[in-house]
A and B are shown apart, each in its own frame.
Chain A
Amino acid sequence: AIQMTQSPSSLSASVGDRVTITCRASQDIRNDLGWYQQKPGKAPKLLIYAASTLQSGVPSRFSGSGSGTDFTLTISSLQPEDFATYYCLQDYNYPWTFGQGTKVEIK
């Protein structure tokens, strides 16, 4: 199975900060990667698919980039509602695999 390694596992940031989360795949997965946001006690929500395509309704401060093995989720200006845990998911081959998550906390 493809292993997805996210970094950092957690970070502290302030409202207005630019935040970057990375995800590295153990092999080439082309652009077959999505990003999900999960708030405490809630189901995950799709933010980005195909590495860089913003899901409808998701604010434009979220963006994704990368291909092959290295991917990035960027929040250009962190808002109070963005404090959550973020997961990457590779859908290149089965089994689809998630990263271990990045918790974004308030500084």
Chain B
Amino acid sequence: QITLKESGPTLVKPTQTLTLTCTFSGFSLSTSGVGVGWIRQPPGKALEWLALIYWDDAKRYSPSLESRLTITKDTSKNQVVLTMTNMYPVDTGTYYCARARRGYCNSISCPNWFDPWGQGTLVTVSS
């Protein structure tokens, strides 16, 4: 059974740095084609893709947030950490981590998907 769980502060002050940890089990982040991503969702709004780290340590970030984000992995601990600097009230929302899989590539598709997801953690930015 594959599980992921997010942990970190529920409340941060404006300008502070947020550090979230995704602890997972049931898969290894050293397996080819596997990654862990972070996605967030402001209250009542749509999902937003933030960052992704792969088994080979390749990292991808949302360009709009790239200057504020850092994603790292600790394969031995089965953890992925996301840091976001200079938090604003608009960064309030639920933050999810999810396992990313890269499927077989052919001429018409090179699929990737998030499955499963963690339960999410609500982060509020307020003074």
Contact = CB atoms under 8 A, between A and B. Distances in A.
Q: Do A and B come from one complex?
A: yes
Contacts of A36: 47, 114
B44 to A, nearest CB: 10
Nearest to A94: B60
B110 interface: yes
B109 A51 contact: yes
B126 interface: no
Contact of B47 (A31, A94, A98): A98
Contacts of A51: 109
B119 interface: yes
A51 B103 CA distance: 13
Contacts of B46: 87, 98-101
Interface string A22-65: 00000000111010101000111110011101010000000000
Given A50-B109, A67-B108, A97 B49 contact: yes
B114 A31 contact: no
Contact of B111 (A50, A87, A95, A100): A50
B96 A32 contact: no
A87 B37 CA distance: 17
Nearest to A44: B117
A32 B80 CA distance: 25
Interface in B16-64: 37, 39, 46-49, 52, 60-64
Contacts of A50: 103, 109, 111
Contacts of A98: 46-49
Contacts of A49: 103, 111-113, 115
B108 A30 contact: yes
A36 B47 CA distance: 10
A82 interface: no
A49 B10 CA distance: 32
Interface of B: 37, 39, 46-49, 52, 60-64, 96, 98, 103, 108-120
